Structure 1
Amino acid sequence: MSETSRIDPALLDGNRKQLAGYVATHFKWEVTNAVATITLNRPERKNPLTFESYAELRDLFGQLKYATDVHAIVIVGAGDNFCSGGDVHEIIGPLVKLKAPELLMFTRMTGDLVKAMRACPQPIVAAINGVCAGAGAIIAMASDMRLGTARSKTAFLFNRVGLAGCDMGACAMLPRIVGQGRASELLYTGRSLGGEEGERWGFFNRLCAPEAVLADAQKLAADLAAGPTFANGITKTMLHQEWAMTIEQAIESEAQAQAICMLTEDFTRAYNAFVAKSKPQFEGN
């Protein structure tokens, strides 16, 4: 009996989607072998974000929790840069004219993008070359893994424009990646973090050649997509949820999560492959 024949069609309709064929409006979206690549595609301006691209990214990541045909995600910028942050003319200029309710609408929208990135079960790999600033640095931070280059320049430059460094979860997430003191330095000064320094600090998982960073990120994502994707989603959930748990709570939560993973067919496939001295072919169920 197939999986779909065991499940009420109404339940499937409400909770499973095919997103490989999604047609993006404000960035590029391509899916190959269950790996989606999001390309921020305004290279002439170093790929800045707009109100529209923020909203579309937020909504797309929100839908990815239901996707059955996307198992890992790569985010990259077109050309020689990742993302220069919010567009000065299309976002920053209009913001200075708004009152508090509309400003809160904007800041909640940007925060909801990070929430959606953290809530989607697919691992996200950021391929970062050149400028990675402001909201671009936040998108990189919110990804699960980051591949950089020697020419990467990452800057949380909010204080350079008169704003606090507490933007889109930076004060909560960045210290967990690079440590409290280093995060404080980046958020107070807004200075650029170079590629080699970023790797030493742990912001980058590793450095790649500029011409290879996208291919390396897609290879990493493909390896993840070929793995036990249900279990990978559980790992991502637990990595996020355990920030707010005691050790005792985390151990109990992991016991429950691992017991659920032991019910999957992928767990049985891995055992059978071990016995047969072969490589398991995971299917995500």
Structure 2
Amino acid sequence: MSKPVDRALAAGNRQRLADYQASHFLWHVAGGVATVTLNRPERKNPLTFDSYAELRDLFGRLKYASDVHAVVIAGAGGNFCSGGDVHEIIGPLVDLPVPELLRFTRMTGDLVKAMRACPQPIVAAVDGVCAGAGAILAMASDLRLGTARAKTAFLFNRVGLAGCDMGACALLPRLIGQGRASELLYTGRTLGGEEAERWGFFNRLVAPEALLDEAQALARGLAAGPAFANGITKTMLHQEWSMGIDQAIEAEAQAQAICMLTQDFKRAYEAFVAREKPAFRGD
């Protein structure tokens, strides 16, 4: 039996986010799974300065969430995300001075950092248009379910910008390989759903009408697993990119030893002995 957490420690490090009221997208929590739905379907769900900032802050808070163990990010109306809003972001950026431009690009990068730093696995449900910053949101997720009609494009060079946006030059080659990432980032061409699955960008394809249900079912399976250990797995997957093999093996030895101290590890053993399925609690 795990000991109760000190109230002061819990107050600072444990938050319930089920009642969070989102201002610039939809937010719903059920069964340990939070669903973020980008909800501007009439414009194919573009991002704005406000939605970037709110997403950054919300993913930052997820490291303290006690009631969220997996996240789904999706778009409304048959499209994932068309990127930064042309009128509300691209237009204003043209006239900004360098310090303000850097403030913006750091904010967008901080969203990716927050997605990678939160312990919950993130499942992207990608249908239709997935372009620019939308492609980055999918890329920054841990798992990606797509549809055959999904159209993913890293469009930055099409608007006169470098492909090195929001970590794309670091993350994308690790997902699909250096040569394929280079092709997408240099050309800005669209990656169709079936090709994206072959390349490993999508974990698998599902029918459009089943996409959200499949993504949430996947997330529920993850949420029902050992949440603390899953968070360690995500941390190590991220940190080991910059490690040598020997350093990675030692880091994993330390991480696994910590996981062996959890009640979930004990529960799994006891369930195995009893020939039952373990009921993980994340502690």
**TM superposition score normalised by structure 2:** 0.99
**Selected match of 2:207 from 203, 206, 209:** 209
- Other structure's SS at 1:211 match: helix
**Selected match of 1:28 from 26, 29, 48:** 26
- Other structure's SS at 2:120 match: coil
Written as runs of structure 1 = structure 2, the 5 A alignment for 1:105-184 is: 105-184=103-182
Distance 2:9 2:228 in 1: 18
Deviation at 1:24, TM superposition (A): 0.2
- Other structure's SS at 1:183 match: helix
Residue of structure 1 equivalent to 2:75: 77
Quote the RMSD (CA, aligned, Å).
0.7
After superposition, the C-alpha distances for 1:19-73 in whole angstroms (9 at most, x for unaligned) are 1110000000000111000000000000000000000000000000000000000
**Selected match of 2:273 from 272, 275, 279:** 275
2:72 counterpart of 1:68: no
- Other structure's SS at 1:22 match: coil
The residue identity in structure 1 corresponding to 2:137 is I
Residue of structure 2 equivalent to 1:187: 185
Deviation at 1:82, TM superposition (A): 0.2
2:221 counterpart of 1:244: no
The residue identity in structure 2 corresponding to 1:180 is Q
- Other structure's SS at 2:107 match: helix
- Other structure's SS at 2:96 match: coil
The residue identity in structure 1 corresponding to 2:12 is G
The residue identity in structure 2 corresponding to 1:199 is E
Distance 1:143 1:57 in 2: 13
Distance 1:188 1:213 in 2: 30
Residue of structure 1 equivalent to 2:15: 17
**TM superposition score normalised by structure 1:** 0.98
Distance 2:146 2:63 in 1: 27
- Structure 2: tracts of 5 or more residues without a match: none
Residue of structure 1 equivalent to 2:49: 51
Distance 1:109 1:136 in 2: 15
Distance 2:228 2:2 in 1: 17
Deviation at 1:10, TM superposition (A): 1.3
Residue of structure 1 equivalent to 2:260: 262
2:87 counterpart of 1:89: yes
Residue of structure 2 equivalent to 1:3: 3
Distance 2:82 2:38 in 1: 10
Deviation at 1:3, TM superposition (A): 3.3
The residue identity in structure 1 corresponding to 2:97 is K
Fraction of identical pairs, as percent: 80
Written as runs of structure 1 = structure 2, the 5 A alignment for 1:212-231 is: 212-231=210-229
Change (3 A) 1:155 1:104: same
Distance 2:250 2:2 in 1: 33
Number of equivalenced pairs: 283
Distance 2:83 2:209 in 1: 22
Deviation at 1:206, TM superposition (A): 0.0
Contact persistence 2:32–2:68 (CA under 8 A): yes
Distance 1:114 1:73 in 2: 14
Deviation at 1:2, TM superposition (A): 5.7
Contact persistence 2:2–2:263 (CA under 8 A): no
Distance 2:6 2:19 in 1: 24
- Other structure's SS at 1:74 match: strand
After superposition, the C-alpha distances for 1:80-133 in whole angstroms (9 at most, x for unaligned) are 100000000000000000010000000000000000000000000000000000
The residue identity in structure 2 corresponding to 1:3 is K
The residue identity in structure 1 corresponding to 2:150 is S
The residue identity in structure 2 corresponding to 1:253 is A
Distance 1:13 1:99 in 2: 41
- Other structure's SS at 1:212 match: helix
Deviation at 1:12, TM superposition (A): 1.1
